[in-house]
Amino acid sequence: MIREYKTIREISGPLMVVDHVQGVTYDELAEIVLSDGSTRRCKVLEVNGDRAVVQLFEASAGINLADSRIRFLGHPLQLAVSRDMLGRVFNGMGQPIDGGPEIIADEHRDINGLAMNPAARNYPNEFIQTGISSIDGLNTLVRGQKLPIFSGSGLPHAQLAAQIARQAKVLDGESNFAVVFAAIGITFEESEFFVNEFKRTGAIDRTVLFTNLANDPAVERIATPRMALTAAEYLAFDCGMHVLVILTDITNYAEALREISAAKKEVPGRRGYPGYLYTDLATMYERAGRQVGKDGSITMIPILTMPEDDKTHPIPDLTGYITEGQIILSRELYRRGINPPVDVLPSLSRLKDKGIGAGKTREDHSGTMNQLFAAYATGKENKELMSILGEAALSPTDLLYAKFADEFEKRYVAQGTDENRSIEQTLDLGWELLSLFTLGILDILYVRPYKMNCKASLYLFLRRNYVLSRAPKYEQLNDSYLEHVPSEDELLISKALYDDSEGPYTKISYFAPHQYPVFLFSVQPPIAAVKSPVNPAQHYDFLSCVFLFHAFSIFGWLLEIISELLSCGTLENVTLKTLPWLPLYGICGLLILLLLKKYIKKPATMFIINFIVYTVLDYLVQLFLDFGFGIELPKYHSYLAFMNGEAYLGDGAVFALLGCAFFYYFAPRWNSLFLKLKKWMRISICILLTAIFVFDLLSGIIQY
């Protein structure tokens, strides 16, 4: 029920005292009607008996106590919510400021929200990709988590916030992802930066932006983050969207809270902040999370600037108690040009283990993360020792760790403001950096992973040492790569870890401290080990297949020429026209490569299949030439001939042997040499060979 009073007693700054009120409640919205008919909004801060203290959302200048009246509206501050909020810009009170129309509300909601029953909470366990390696790879953001960013004055937290808002996505259901961005107490230039940045990149289409300027009233600053969270709750739990809420800067919010507390003459707590600062922050932070039975979720990244870079200041201190970790920005890294300057060692995401691994990011994520943390920590310690004792006092291993720390900061932590790295790129970069600890490249190396995922360890080994001429992607690794790895008993692990002198197996290196040994390398393979470092089952991409088709076609022409020379003593053209191509050899070779990988271990089966494939293709080609072009090739006259002289067992057997040689020996080595070329060179070679082959083929067809 709306009640109106003309009993305004006094005004003190933004505060106003009203006497003889009834039924007024805390946080109730009110309007002050001036003598000229204009209105100013305010809300109830305190009720004591029949006296109420209200705070204006606007300036108090020009209010005549005798001619003004106050109207209590009977409800707290509300926000009109709708899906149409996406792509819009609002001020701190939820009013559109982008020049667009008013929001047609689905409903009006109390900005204070409703408490989430702890029993109705779902545990956060899904990965959110921010595109920033220092967060995704090491301090992973999990859907439903509260992960604050602790910054300092002058550090690029605004750019980091904008980058996260632009790049953040979920790996499944990207279309249902939205960002609610609340800028609290910022300057006009910062407000324009956020708006223009989102519009430039197109991120505004999935973003709801609330901006509260530094010259706006303190009470509006209190309302802005709650406006944002109310919009996020509607999008998440009513519309089924995954919402990322970014609040910057929480320090400005806390300062406004202190200002209001001082105006109310409350007894101050730590450093002048009210004693209920912890409770007030918790009422915002705890609105994030996932609910049982709801598809949507709210993930929160509050950003705050620590006064004097003090982590023990009440604002970061209390925030750290409520939230699940923190991302800390380092002024030292920023001075050295590392951007974003994330200090990964003191940073922490308490829920990261719940959002990584197979089916979420990649199965080697945990191992990579632990190794990077351990190696970087050791490298930082060694750099500090280097500054005290000098470089000469450190061992080669210590210097290697120090080098890793520098490379880690320059390549992993640092990235451009527009650089968006996928989780795959982040993990691959981590393996690439860790490979600095692999000393030397040997012709034949045999690996035994130790205390870590076997596939992950082997991946690093292949990336560094190019055992297969070109390292495959992680997903392309299969059991064939681990087929001939020696057993733990053969490697004598207990000796190899600490003794390089005994036995045929030598520890080349292992990275990270002793609690994280990863690999053992054997220089002298056991008897059962692979005899060739080239794997016949390596991956063949499209360019490799094109190249090998031409290579084996030319190789087949050479064999036919040699055969004619040895049997007849003369050279005879066996091609379609003039150039050295026999496509039958190339077709058969590709069929062998692409279809017969599972018979690698069965040479006899491989021989029989090769024989059948060649015989059938030979017969089909002769039928094609006979019926298509009227070309009748000479028939075979031998007891080994069959199919009316169209096929010859001797040729089939020879070709089957050649097919086995091609698969086990020639193709892997030719492919290895081909893959050592740059990609543009490989493309150029394939285009040139294909163009020449097509020209020769068409010329031959036209001639016949």
Q: For residue range 249-302, what is the model confidence (pLDDT) as tens digits?
A: 899 999 999 988 887 788 888 888 999 999 999 999 999 999 988 888 999 999
Q: Is residue 94 scored above 60 in pLDDT?
A: yes
Q: Is residue 646 scored above 60 in pLDDT?
A: no
Segment 175-194 shows an average pLDDT of 88
8 A C-beta contact, residue 644 and residue 637: no
Segment 151-180 shows an average pLDDT of 85
What is the length of the chain? Answer: 704
At residue 568, the pLDDT reads 63
Which of 6-15, 443-452, 454-463 has maximum average pLDDT?
A: 6-15
At residue 498, the pLDDT reads 29
Q: Is 444 left (phi over 0), alpha (psi -120 to 50) or beta?
A: beta
Angle between helices 454-465 and 365-389 (to 10 degrees): 60
- For 588-615, the pLDDT digits (tens) are 777 767 766 555 556 677 777 777 777 7
8 A C-beta contact, residue 423 and residue 475: no
Structure tokens at 222: 């209190």
Calculate what percentage of the chain has a pLDDT beyond 70: 74
pTM of the full structure: 0.63
Phi, psi of 336 (to 5 degrees): -90, 10
Q: Is residue 104 scored above 70 in pLDDT?
A: yes
- For 323-366, the pLDDT digits (tens) are 999 999 999 999 999 989 999 999 999 998 888 888 888 888 88
Structure tokens at 563: 């055969």
Segment 409-427 shows an average pLDDT of 90
Segment 297-319 shows an average pLDDT of 91
247 band by pLDDT with thresholds 50, 70 and 90: very high
At residue 333, the pLDDT reads 92
Calculate what percentage of the chain has a pLDDT beyond 90: 24
At residue 598, the pLDDT reads 56
At residue 299, the pLDDT reads 93
Residues pairing with 151 in the sheet: 305
Segment 209-219 shows an average pLDDT of 88
Segment 54-64 shows an average pLDDT of 83
- Decide: helix, strand or coil at residue 152: coil
Q: What is the mean pLDDT of the chain?
A: 77
Query: Residue 273 and residue 279: Cα distance in Å, rounded?
Result: 12
Query: Residue 154 and residue 181: Cα distance in Å, rounded?
Result: 20
Structure tokens at 76: 């707290």
At residue 622, the pLDDT reads 66
